[in-house]
């Protein structure tokens, strides 16, 4: 594949390494600030013949990026989170321009499997006297809290644990209502990403933990998703479930 990387920060650099390892070619690195970028903005000329784009930028710019990329008929994988309330607009862009978009809060195959494990655990433990909460830890440079991965985990729990009706972020210096699913977050050092789900019952506790060792798995997954999207040659909006078949 000929790949354009949109956003050349830590993940962008990891994606370049993963793409090269998989014998693909990075033909464009677009970022308004990174010294290594080949261009500062998206345009047909700056994409340099790219067949597919991978976006790891910022929620404030991802819609504008998709408007430009879909107009140019470039299938795009989006790892940026924090924009999902605008999903209907993105679906319209995909339909109007007849191009494919694949998005996920996390492209790690392990995380996608972890989602299914949590989903099954929530279903099994619901109604058995357990409470549940989520805690996530990332590096101090992460822009959003809670993470997109934590939000996705919360959605899986809410769908399978009827006692929890809504998410509550941290504790707002008050007790946690029984029907609220707490998500707490820590930002420390250079932690790549740790997500912990705690199921606490009257006489036992179950803890499920996914810990990312580095960005390699996330980057390799994004490149693999881009290959799947390009080969599919279909318009529309897709998720990691479509890509992996979980």
The pTM of this model reads 0.84
Same domain? For 122 and 206 the reply is: yes
Same domain? For 140 and 61 the reply is: no
Same domain? For 26 and 44 the reply is: yes
Same domain? For 38 and 16 the reply is: yes
User: Rounded distance, CA 5 to CA 34, Å?
Assistant: 12
Three-state secondary structure readout of 123-187: HHHCCCCCEEEEEEEECCCCCCCCCHHHHHHHHHHHHHCCCCCEEEECCCCCCCCCCEEEEEEEE
Same domain? For 8 and 103 the reply is: yes
Give pLDDT, residue 144: 83
The answer to whether 197 and 149 are in contact (CB under 8 A) is no
What residue numbers bound the domain in which 196 lies?
109-212
Number of domains in the chain: 2
Task: Indicate the angle between helix axes 109-125 and 216-232, nearest 10 degrees.
Answer: 100
Same domain? For 17 and 102 the reply is: yes
Same domain? For 25 and 93 the reply is: yes
Same domain? For 100 and 14 the reply is: yes
Q: What is the CATH number of the domain that holds 226?
A: 3.40.50.720
Same domain? For 142 and 167 the reply is: yes
Same domain? For 86 and 152 the reply is: no
Closest CA to 168 of 178, 158, 189, 182: 182
Active site residue 164: no
Question: Which pLDDT tens digits describe the chain residue by residue (246 residues)?
Answer: 999 999 999 899 999 999 999 999 999 999 999 999 999 999 999 999 999 999 999 999 999 999 999 999 999 999 998 899 999 999 999 999 999 999 998 899 999 999 999 999 999 999 999 999 999 999 998 888 899 899 999 999 999 999 999 999 987 788 999 999 999 999 999 999 999 999 999 999 999 999 999 889 999 999 999 999 999 999 999 999 999 998
Give pLDDT, residue 143: 80
Give pLDDT, residue 46: 98
Q: What is the CATH number of the domain that holds 132?
A: 3.30.360.10
Q: Could you tell me where the DSSP H helices lie in the chain?
A: 10-21, 44-47, 59-71, 87-97, 109-125, 148-160, 216-232, 240-244
Among 138, 151, 156, 164, the active-site one is: 138
User: Rounded distance, CA 163 to CA 166, Å?
Assistant: 9
Phi and psi at residue 243, in whole multiples of 5°?
-65, -50
Active site residue 138: yes
Q: Rounded to 5 degrees, what angle do the CA atoms 165, 170, 173 make?
A: 105
Among 2, 142, 180, 232, the active-site one is: 142
User: Rounded distance, CA 161 to CA 127, Å?
Assistant: 8
Same domain? For 235 and 188 the reply is: no
Closest CA to 22 of 45, 52, 42: 52
Give pLDDT, residue 58: 92
Same domain? For 9 and 77 the reply is: yes
């Amino acid at each position: 594949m000929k790949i354009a990387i949109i956003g050349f920060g830590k993940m962008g650099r990891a994606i370049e390494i993963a793409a090269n390892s998989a014998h693909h070619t990075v033909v464009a690195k677009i970022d308004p600030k990174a010294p290594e970028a080949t261009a500062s903005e998206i345009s047909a000329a700056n994409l340099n013949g790219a067949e597919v784009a991978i976006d790891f930028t910022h929620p404030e710019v991802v819609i504008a990026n998709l408007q430009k990329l879909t107009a140019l008929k470039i299938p795009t994988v989006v790892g940026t989170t924090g924009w999902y309330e605008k999903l209907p607009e993105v679906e319209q862009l995909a339909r109007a321009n007849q191009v494919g978009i694949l998005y996920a809060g996390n492209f790690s195959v392990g995380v996608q499997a972890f989602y299914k494990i949590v989903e099954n655990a929530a279903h099994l433990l619901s109604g058995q006297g357990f409470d549940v909460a989520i805690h996530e830890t990332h590096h101090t440079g992460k822009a959003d809290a809670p993470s997109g991965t934590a939000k996705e985990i919360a959605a899986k729990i809410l769908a399978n644990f009827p006692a929890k009706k809504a998410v509550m972020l941290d504790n707002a210096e008050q007790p946690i209502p029984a029907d609220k699913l707490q998500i707490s977050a820590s930002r420390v050092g250079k932690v790549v990403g740790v997500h912990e789900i705690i199921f606490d019952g009257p006489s036992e506790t179950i803890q499920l933990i996914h810990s990312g060792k580095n960005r390699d798995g996330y980057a390799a997954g994004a490149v693999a998703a881009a290959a799947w999207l390009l080969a599919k040659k279909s318009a529309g909006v897709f998720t990691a479930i479509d890509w992996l078949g979980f």
